[in-house]
Amino acid sequence: MKNTINIDGKIIPFEEGQTIMEAATASGVYIPHLCHHPDYTPHGSCKLCTVRVNGRICSSCTFPAKEGQEVLSNTKELNDDRQKITQMMFVEGNHFCPSCEKTGNCQLQAVAYHLNMLDNHFPLFYPNREVDASHPDVMIDHNRCIFCTLCVRASQQKDGKDVFAMSGGRSIHKHLIVNAQSGLLKDTDLAVTDHAAHICPTGAILIKRTAYQVPIGERIYDHEQIDQVSLETEHHQHGE
């Protein structure tokens, strides 16, 4: 058969120009990811979607599918390391799931559960980060930002605005900034209806006055793991 790759022993068709992630999702194969979203240009920064392509380590969200590739994804080696990379994201910020209103609906938390992460493993950084609650409808809790840039891309690519940006602060000084002279969200043109306000995979960007409205037991990840949820919500976008 022409235009197929092999992921974990399964034959997966792909179309010219598709990435490994796109081909996998379209065929119902979940590869863990956080900075990737089918609606937006791939970023390749979180590195959770790392797979082995013909033995070589690659980010599946950016690496093009090519005839005959042997891809390994759901292996102990990769899942153990994905767990460590997730733990890195936890320790560099301040993530206290029990007190976070995103709990149960949070992709970071759900990926952590999926990868069987039971502790932080690494020493916590306890960074001093701020909360921007200036906007009437939307707030940013920088403590929970994982620098995936989905809000940046959503604002630019779907909302036709330019509300968010990743600052150039290097290494662990990286941080999200907003496009206002005051540096405050209230002075940007962000609207609560913007895609950018709803795309955050963690609890860093939250819609005000909507917390805890869904009871425990009915939240996104209460009964399904992120692999199923992800395929259900992203499959159609990749599959068409």
Question: Stretches 62-70, 109-117, 192-200, 210-218: which one binds another protein (CB under 8 A)?
Answer: 62-70
Q: Is 122 in the site for another protein (CB under 8 A)?
A: yes
**By CB under 8 A, residue 132 contacts another protein:** no
Give yes or no for residue 136 binding another protein (CB under 8 A). no
Pair type for strands 176-178 and 164-166? antiparallel
Among 7, 21, 22, 92, binds another protein (CB under 8 A): 92
Query: Which residues touch 118 (CB under 8 Å, ≥6 apart)?
Result: none
The H or E element that residue 84 is part of is helix 76-92
What are the CA-CA distances from residue 36 to residues 82, 186, 194 (Å)?
15, 27, 18
Min dist CB 178 to another protein, Å, is 7
Query: Is 11 or 124 the residue whose CB approaches another protein more closely?
Result: 124
42 makes contact with another protein (CB under 8 A)? yes
Only segment of 46-54, 103-111, 189-197, 212-220 that touches another protein (CB under 8 A): 46-54
| Whole-Å CA distances, 216 to 65, 102, 118 | 40, 12, 21
How many helices (H) and strands (E) in the chain?
5, 10
Q: What Å distances lie between residue 62 and 35, 197, 216, CA to CA?
A: 11, 24, 36
User: What is the C-alpha to C-alpha distance for residues 50 and 176, in angstroms, rounded to an integer?
Assistant: 24
What does the per-residue mask of binding to another protein show for 138-167, with x meaning CB under 8 A?
Answer: --------xx--------------x-xxxx
| Binding window for another protein (CB under 8 A); candidates: 110-118, 168-176, 198-206, 223-231 | 168-176
Element housing 216 (H / E): none
Separation between Cα atoms, residue 239 and residue 235, nearest integer Å = 6
Minimum CB–partner distance for residue 180 and another protein (Å) = 8
Which tokens belong to 201?
A: 């995979």
Q: Residues binding another protein: what is the number (CB under 8 A)? A: 41
Question: Alpha helices of 93-225 — where are they, by DSSP H?
Answer: 107-114, 150-157
Q: Of 7-15, 133-141, 174-182, 231-239, which part binds another protein (CB under 8 A)?
A: 174-182
Binding mask 180-209 for another protein (x = CB under 8 A): -x----------------------------
Question: Does 94 help bind another protein (rule: CB under 8 A)?
Answer: no
Q: Which parts of this chain interact with another protein (CB under 8 A)? A: 16, 42, 44-48, 50, 57, 59, 62-64, 81, 84-85, 88-89, 91-92, 122-123, 125, 146-147, 162, 164-174, 177-179, 181
